[in-house]
Amino acid sequence: MIDSVLAAVLMGLFPLRNGGHGFESLEPMRIAVASPHVEAERRKIDQSAIKNLSASGVLIVDLQSGQRLHEYASAIPRPMASLTKLMTGLLIAENHALDEWVTIPQHIGNVVGNTAFLPPGGIFTVGDLLSALLVQSGNDAAYTLALFHSGSETKFVEEMNMRA
């Protein structure tokens, strides 16, 4: 009987209170117990490779169980701008020729962040705009290409999500 209750507590079925602090804190503390499969995978992770990572955060997840095998600063929110620009470049490269002509929207000055300073009404090739997007990290180039491809920012985001 004791073993069953202990197993239920350890598996997180019952919240435990923060030990040593009495019951002043109502914050529940849960203990996650990994399956033997996950524990074996944790042991397989090359610790020297993890120490050599230069990423600002790491999250390694067992795809079978969904349990986290290793993490470091994984909960810190990070901007998605560069990933979005890469996906923009991919969609444009897959669907357009580099020599297609694109007109810069008149309201391009409203785009914030990194820009390539594209002039409103200017005409550039897709290849030129991809360079501004990927080399200069121009948000104005990303916005222009998104409108060129899909007609609206919302529709382009939907297409990026479908492609991803």
Structure tokens at 58: 């790491």
Q: Tell me the CA distances in angstroms from 13 to 4, 20, 82, one per residue in order.
A: 11, 21, 40
| Nearest alpha-carbon partner for 68 in 30, 36, 41, 28 | 41
pLDDT in tens, the chain (164 residues): 334 333 333 443 334 344 444 444 445 545 455 555 556 666 666 666 677 777 788 888 878 888 888 888 888 877 767 889 999 999 999 999 999 999 999 999 999 989 999 999 999 999 999 999 999 999 999 999 999 999 999 999 999 999 98
> Annotated catalytic sites, by residue?
82, 85, 137
Tell me what pLDDT residue 67 has: 84
Number of H helices, E strands in the chain: 7, 6
